[in-house]
Structure 1
């Protein structure tokens, strides 16, 4: 009984802290960019990505907070399986978009940092920043479309898995070969939504760090001990991308473990993973806001 009371208290405190913090941090990012848009300031490619990441984090934080309330107070009986099914789809859409936006941000920073003479890289460097709006819109549309196989790959007659951290329905795959084919397609598309952008982010991070290290080496050779303001900005950008990548990996690992192992809802492990998942949008908002000095400065100007 003491264990149950303690886990419930921790979960309630987590909801009270992470919900408002995540929404306020990410809404602040959105507010700064909307203020710029209202004043006629044109958005660069990184600004566009950060704005959409802020909106995505607000939606994800609201969803996780609502889902956390259902989980904590055992309100499953008030929702039918169709609602849980839609929630399942919405959750994986937002998390896939979460990872892809990090990938696009890392690509844009990589183009700013790296001076590679290869023809293909030069073409991408000239094309991607100019087409970032279309690329982001295409990413949202494609991620929405690839969720369609869920409806054929999973049995709509679902049982609620109430023993795990997330209110994720437990589906039984149909034995019909047609449903199995769609299941294989869904798994492949899910890998596209998560694994590919993680690899892209890691690759771009590697190129960006190599470029920074080369710059530091040149400074040492020239006996220069001062960093330019531009290089400091680039270094902070690399650190922000690295932290976002680490947070993405940690988040998906946490979700995967909590679903696969199906912890008892009153266990401390379940409570730990519950807290990590709810805090992830807040963590991303913190990284975006305090890893960008210009964004932080503009927010202070709005507040003051």
Structure 2
């Protein structure tokens, strides 16, 4: 007989799992269909495509892990297998945050008028090598996460207070190493995202100032695009930071959370990929129109 908490978690698993996988798969399918038709994808579209793929993998992984955790199926899997799943989850989380940083950079370079030669050169390099940049980011994050296999000791789960299927024995040196990976995987891209968002906001404020000087009350198309881009990047950054802080809180607490906190954290983690795809739909009018055409 399922408990009330298990029923709640099952509903969350079904809702977030189906919505997250369907919506993100749809985003991937739309961009791939455009490429098949010979339409060249821009920098931002390529990043959104990889975001969709990452979210499909992340949502599928979260749903799989959630089923194991909710129905206590640990004995059917070895602790090494569960450990690999959790490490792959950390890799996808870091990649998720870095993709937001690259998207913020592309938005900033596209929308902000900066005549300095450095920014002009940077824009050309990113435009011509976005695929290599994304691939390089994934490779570097993979290399950084590999040593975790040797820094953490694991044992089978023996209590019900842990939020993940295995317990980790974490030493002070492990915390230092994981702090480094957190700094590179989360803090650095979040700082980059914040900088880009700040530059975009400054450009938006300059446009508003010009409007006041010209006594114009109507928003130009570029101003609307700037405002929507700023809001999109802010929401993505806030979601990513909140998501990662939740994960890092689990790590620092050595995966021992009370039952109420466990359920809340379960909801936050499971809903995060869905939240990201909704933010992307909010910030991309073309995607929204394609979705409406598909549904109706």
Global fold match (TM > 0.5): yes
For the Cα contact (< 8 Å) 2:186–2:241, is it kept in 1? no
Aligned with 1:230 (options 222, 231, 234):
222
Question: Once the 2 structures are TM-superposed, how far is the Cα of residue 172 of structure 1 from its aligned partner?
Answer: 4.4
For the Cα contact (< 8 Å) 1:32–1:299, is it kept in 2? no
For the Cα contact (< 8 Å) 1:166–1:274, is it kept in 2? no
Query: Counterparts of 2:243 and 2:235 in 1: how far apart (Å)?
Result: 12
Aligned with 2:257 (options 256, 259, 263):
263
For the Cα contact (< 8 Å) 1:70–1:76, is it kept in 2? yes
Aligned to 1:49: 47
**Closer, same or farther in 2 for the Cα pair 1:117/1:229, shift >3 Å?**
closer
Asked if 1:300 corresponds to 2:287, the answer is no
For the Cα contact (< 8 Å) 2:162–2:257, is it kept in 1? yes
Instruction: Tell me the TM-score normalized by structure 1.
Output: 0.90
For the Cα contact (< 8 Å) 1:85–1:169, is it kept in 2? no
Asked if 1:254 corresponds to 2:251, the answer is no
Question: Once the 2 structures are TM-superposed, how far is the Cα of residue 55 of structure 1 from its aligned partner?
Answer: 0.6
Unaligned 5+ segments in structure 1 are none
Query: Counterparts of 1:143 and 1:210 in 2: how far apart (Å)?
Result: 31
Asked if 1:277 corresponds to 2:269, the answer is yes
Tell me the secondary structure at the aligned position of residue 54 of structure 1.
helix
Query: Counterparts of 2:65 and 2:246 in 1: how far apart (Å)?
Result: 16
Aligned to 1:204: 196
Query: Counterparts of 2:84 and 2:262 in 1: how far apart (Å)?
Result: 23
For the Cα contact (< 8 Å) 1:84–1:169, is it kept in 2? no
Question: Once the 2 structures are TM-superposed, how far is the Cα of residue 165 of structure 1 from its aligned partner?
Answer: 2.4
Aligned with 1:158 (options 152, 155, 158):
155
Tell me the secondary structure at the aligned position of residue 158 of structure 1.
strand
When the two chains are superposed, the root-mean-square deviation of aligned CA atoms in Å is 2.1
For the Cα contact (< 8 Å) 1:26–1:285, is it kept in 2? yes
Unaligned 5+ segments in structure 2 are none
CA-to-aligned-CA distance 1:94-116 (integer Å, 9 cap, x gap): 00000000000000000012122
CA-to-aligned-CA distance 1:164-189 (integer Å, 9 cap, x gap): 3233541344x9xxxx5x87555423
Query: Counterparts of 2:250 and 2:143 in 1: how far apart (Å)?
Result: 27
Aligned to 1:38: 36
Query: Counterparts of 2:22 and 2:215 in 1: how far apart (Å)?
Result: 45
Question: Once the 2 structures are TM-superposed, how far is the Cα of residue 134 of structure 1 from its aligned partner?
Answer: 0.8
**Closer, same or farther in 2 for the Cα pair 1:10/1:302, shift >3 Å?**
closer
Tell me the secondary structure at the aligned position of residue 170 of structure 1.
strand
Aligned with 1:244 (options 236, 242, 250):
236
Aligned to 2:16: 18
For the Cα contact (< 8 Å) 2:98–2:189, is it kept in 1? yes
Aligned to 1:74: 72
Question: Once the 2 structures are TM-superposed, how far is the Cα of residue 201 of structure 1 from its aligned partner?
Answer: 0.5
CA-to-aligned-CA distance 1:119-168 (integer Å, 9 cap, x gap): 3222212222221111011111111111121132223x534375232335
Aligned residues: 293
Asked if 1:130 corresponds to 2:128, the answer is yes
Instruction: Tell me the TM-score normalized by structure 2.
Output: 0.92
